[in-house]
Amino acid sequence: MASSLACLPFFLLLLPCLLLAQNTGNIEVGDSITAVDNGAQPWLSPSGDFAFGFRQLEKRELYLLAIWYNKIPDKTIVWYANGDNPAPARSKLELTADRGLVLTSPQGTEIWKSDVNLGDAENGFMNDTGNLILSNSASEILWQSFDHPTDTLLPGQTLKRLSPGQTLESGGQMLSSRLTETNFSRGRFQFRLIPDGNAVLNTNNLPTGFAYEAYFWSNTVDSNTSNAGLRVVFDDSGYLYVLRASGKRELLTTGTVASAAENYHRVTLNFDGVLVQYTRPRNSTGNGGNWSIIRSMPDNICTDLVGQKGTGPCGFNGICQLSRDRRPTCSCPQRFSLLDPNDDYGGCRPDFYAQFCEDVSNSPKDFDFLELENTDWPTSDYEMYTPYNIEECQKACSEDCFCNVIVFKEGTCWKKKLPLSNGRLDEKVNGKAFIKIRKDDSTRRETPSGPLPFPYEKKNKDNLALVVSVLLGGSVLVNLVLSFYSFFFSHNKSKRIPQGTERGAESNLRCFSYKELFIATDGFKEVVGRGSFGIVYKGLLEMGTKVPVAVKKLDKIFEEGEKEFRTEVKVIGQTHHKNLVQLVGFCAEGQHRLLVYEFLSNGTLANFLFKEAKLGWSQRTQIAFGIARGLAYLHEECSSQIIHCDIKPQNILLDDHYDAKIADFGLAKLLLLDQSQTFTAARGTKGYVAPEWFRNMPVTVKADVYSFGVLLLEIICGRKCVDTEVSAERAILTDWAYDCYQDGIISALVENDEEAVNDMKKLERFVKVAIWCIQEDPTLRPTIKMAILMLEDFVQVAAPPCPCPFTSVVG
């Protein structure tokens, strides 16, 4: 979803010609489309409401063959062919006569096909109902997407009753959830009409699809079979019901449904197991529209789902809490952390070694209990005592080396073993859970030895989450962990030899004469930027071919000798990182000091953030990551640490792919070799400058982290950090952002940016990280590496405190 939105402007440009060229809905034998970046033109239904084609997945090199609402900004997907088997780039979909639609990889492997068994296909048609239909020359339907539902029903679509033993594989019709919001592989939940006539929601065992107990029933069974449920129907007017064999309708939709002529309707089995009927005005094509909920089933998945087998909505050991939209939110108990830090619904594992009777010398006195209010895991018990009080219950557990958790409720005590399933936090529980931990903490798992995983690689992230899961416990621990991390990273630094740093570091810089650069820039004619240290000109250098460069003429008068200049320039020249603007050479002749950089045609981030075409949310987040990585390199990986001192959007350049590159690093040191405090006020740029500059405090890399935090907010919100043209309470971005965060209205920060609003988790994470970065107290700020881990969601982000606890802000 997000990925295709990134190319929205481009797509909109294409739209008019698509409408002209392709809007008949017809697909002929031999027609094909190819999965390519941005360019794949989907087949549209006659009205343009639905499109059929390729959607780029979050893993950008993979594509999903799908049908989606094409007129609404979120381009909600309603059907997909190859969720379990995403297609690589340049895969091709073709309509063939004998095999229907065939999706093949560039290597020629068949990825998916819509079998047509009844004869040759003549014609394909993307209907305005969202149904993709293949028919023969006699207009008989050979195959239609409505017969092969994925996770969504559209008006006009039905589910047949399963025959005994029938599964998805053997052609049974059912809704099957995706694995996660963005991973379309088969998920853990199903909506089926089972042979006894009941429409049910149930979990299933993933590898086999074996269905576990149901957690929702339509109650349409009847011992008189001619009265039991026969079909699930989502009718043309948007009512969902179970049709009994007798012809009677048992409505699942509650209330009245708005007209289908003016509204879209869909029923989707969400990845978290909640079946939701949604509606949305057809004409709200702008940013304002959204899907509103008509009915969610079940009423409370956290408490309704109690399987003897399977994990529950939140995975093993997880705790489910219903949010206002009746969808589950998952968390881990204290001292547990997410098994997969990127998957809130994937379950939790203990950060300690739970007791398993491995050591009989343990004494009951060694144990303590963590209390969890209104929490229960209703299954997984192996003993029950009643009547009992809490003390007796705890004593029984601490004396029992098999016992890991107890639940106590109204005089009854249950002993439980790991893993726990179907965890819930709900007032209805009316009881308490206690997790057994060791008093001396001796079994808390240590950091794995050896270097920590490089944050740019997603490998081994579990270990990280393990350590940092203590963050969950409370924000007091944050600093401890943060400093632990900073220590670890800096400690580790000396051992790591970053790519490209040592290699060829000495020699790559070219020394130019002033005359050469004068000619290359045509007499310093074309100004492309004005930085804090001088003017930047465009130039063309003869290096085999003409290579464009940016030549920065430093405006400071240099008392320092050429030697010091060369030393510093060499340090800058030794940095090689894809998120840093590469220094190509320099000139130090007489009083002239010039630096020659690679030329980036897209200019500065400031142009895109505050002017011109706006960048999409996913592009903006990519840029934020780029900047953070560039900074991490400067702070922790290059041979001598570089504090940038002037991070701001004017110093971030964008390359052809809109990847961020940091400019002007190393200049602060170069130009202010006398690091006296008197200079500090002159450094940096107002609005981005960390408070310590004004406070006679030592300036460290954390000053850059502060500026990064401000910049991150600008990137999130697409506005300047100080904007006098908006209302007073919004004028100072850092204050306003914290206010919005505090008031729980983060979406106000990205008004009209539907893509960002739809990515609320990431948005919230980014805002929280930004607020951590702009903490007034530098020690509270994370290192940039830690910020990356948090942005990447490797590490849980605790709730940040107010960035300005003191009122003594210097103007």
Ligand X SMILES: *[C@@H]1O[C@H](CO)[C@@H](O)[C@H](O)[C@H]1NC(C)=O
Q: 557, 563, 564, 567: which is closest to 593 by C-alpha?
A: 557
Rg over CA atoms, the chain: 30
Q: Is-contact 130 243, C-beta < 8 A?
A: no
For residue 159, give both structure tokens. 């589910």
Query: Site for ligand X (CB under 6 A): which residue of 53, 86, 313, 585?
Result: 86
Query: Site for ligand X (CB under 6 A): which residue of 290, 479, 501, 639?
Result: 290
Of the ranges 124-132, 168-176, 483-491, 602-610, which one interacts with ligand X (CB under 6 A)? 124-132
Cα separation, 241 vs 48, in Å, equals 28
Query: Site for ligand X (CB under 6 A): which residue of 88, 119, 281, 448?
Result: 281
Nearer of residues 640 and 752 to ligand X, judged by Cβ: 752
Query: Site for ligand X (CB under 6 A): which residue of 62, 269, 583, 717?
Result: 62
C-beta neighbour count of 254 within 10 angstroms: 11
Describe the strand order of the beta sheet including 583-589 as a list of residue ranges: 510-511, 583-589, 592-598, 545-554, 534-543, 527-531
Cα separation, 153 vs 157, in Å, equals 6
CB of 286 to ligand X, least distance (A): 7
Element (DSSP H or E) covering residue 467: helix 461-468
Describe the strand order of the beta sheet including 186-193 as a list of residue ranges: 175-178, 186-193, 199-204, 211-217
Of the ranges 283-291, 327-335, 665-673, 775-783, which one interacts with ligand X (CB under 6 A)? 283-291
Query: Site for ligand X (CB under 6 A): which residue of 24, 292, 475, 601?
Result: 292
Task: Please tell me whether 553 is known to bind a ligand.
Answer: yes
CB of 224 to ligand X, least distance (A): 4
CB of 553 to ligand X, least distance (A): 48
Residues 587, 590, 596, CA angle at the centre, nearest 5°? 15
Nearer of residues 179 and 609 to ligand X, judged by Cβ: 179
Of the ranges 125-133, 375-383, 474-482, 696-704, which one interacts with ligand X (CB under 6 A)? 125-133
Of the ranges 282-290, 450-458, 551-559, 606-614, which one interacts with ligand X (CB under 6 A)? 282-290
Which residue has 């220094």 as its token pair? 583
Cβ contacts of residue 785 below 8 Å, gap of 6+?
455, 485, 486, 489, 632, 635, 636
Of the ranges 280-288, 535-543, 545-553, 637-645, which one interacts with ligand X (CB under 6 A)? 280-288
Q: Contact between 619 and ligand X (CB under 6 A)?
A: no
Q: Contact between 47 and ligand X (CB under 6 A)?
A: no
Task: Render the burial of 90-122: b for 16+ CB within 10 Å, e for the rest.
Answer: ebbbbbbeebbbbbbbeeeeebbbbebeeeebb
CB of 180 to ligand X, least distance (A): 7
Cβ contacts of residue 527 below 8 Å, gap of 6+?
535, 536, 537, 538
C-beta neighbour count of 687 within 10 angstroms: 16
Nearer of residues 224 and 807 to ligand X, judged by Cβ: 224
CB of 247 to ligand X, least distance (A): 9
Q: Contact between 294 and ligand X (CB under 6 A)?
A: no
Q: Contact between 72 and ligand X (CB under 6 A)?
A: no
Catalytic residue among 304, 344, 646, 704: 646
547, burial (CB in 10 Å: exposed 0-12, middle 13-18, buried 19+): middle
Size of the site for ligand X (CB under 6 A): 22
Direct distance between the N- and C-terminal alpha carbons of the chain, in angstroms, rounded to an integer = 44
Nearer of residues 176 and 604 to ligand X, judged by Cβ: 176
CB of 222 to ligand X, least distance (A): 8
Q: Contact between 605 and ligand X (CB under 6 A)?
A: no
Q: 595, 599, 634: which is closest to 510 by C-alpha?
A: 595
151 carries an active-site annotation: no
Q: Contact between 183 and ligand X (CB under 6 A)?
A: yes
CB of 145 to ligand X, least distance (A): 12
CB of 758 to ligand X, least distance (A): 9
Q: Looking at this protein, which amino acid is placed at residue 473?
A: G
Q: Contact between 156 and ligand X (CB under 6 A)?
A: yes
For residue 759, give both structure tokens. 């990515």
Nearer of residues 129 and 490 to ligand X, judged by Cβ: 129
CB of 15 to ligand X, least distance (A): 19
Query: Site for ligand X (CB under 6 A): which residue of 5, 6, 57, 784?
Result: 57
x/- mask, ligand X, residues 255-274, rule CB under 6 A, reads: -------x------------
Q: Is-contact 596 551, C-beta < 8 A?
A: yes
* E-assigned strand segments in 567-676: 583-589, 592-598, 652-654, 660-662
CB of 56 to ligand X, least distance (A): 11
Q: What share of the chain is helix, strand, coil (3-state, %, to 5)?
A: 25, 25, 50
Nearer of residues 5 and 780 to ligand X, judged by Cβ: 5
Which residue has 């639905």 as its token pair? 50
Residues 203-242 that bind ligand X (CB under 6 A): 224, 226-227
Nearer of residues 156 and 801 to ligand X, judged by Cβ: 156
Cβ contacts of residue 679 below 8 Å, gap of 6+?
672
DSSP secondary structure string, 687-745?
A: TT--GGGGTT----HHHHHHHHHHHHHHHHHTS-SB-TTS-HHHHBHHHHHHHHHHTT-
Which residue has 């539902």 as its token pair? 149
Residues 162-181 that bind ligand X (CB under 6 A): 179
Residues 126-145 that bind ligand X (CB under 6 A): 127, 129, 133
Q: Is-contact 106 79, C-beta < 8 A?
A: no
Q: Contact between 125 and ligand X (CB under 6 A)?
A: yes
For residue 134, give both structure tokens. 């293949």
Query: Site for ligand X (CB under 6 A): which residue of 109, 137, 205, 246?
Result: 246
C-beta neighbour count of 797 within 10 angstroms: 23
Nearer of residues 29 and 390 to ligand X, judged by Cβ: 29
Q: Contact between 283 and ligand X (CB under 6 A)?
A: yes
CB of 227 to ligand X, least distance (A): 5
CB of 280 to ligand X, least distance (A): 8
**Alpha carbon 791 to chain centroid, angstroms:** 9
Cβ contacts of residue 28 below 8 Å, gap of 6+?
95, 123, 124
Distances from the Cα of 168 to the Cα of 254, 316, 745, angstroms = 28, 25, 42
Cβ contacts of residue 387 below 8 Å, gap of 6+?
411, 412
Residue ranges in contact with ligand X by CB under 6 A: 57, 59, 62, 86, 125, 127, 129, 133, 156, 179, 183, 185, 224, 226-227, 246, 262, 281, 283-284, 290, 292
Annotated binding site: 553
Annotated binding site for ATP: 553
Which positions are catalytic?
A: 646
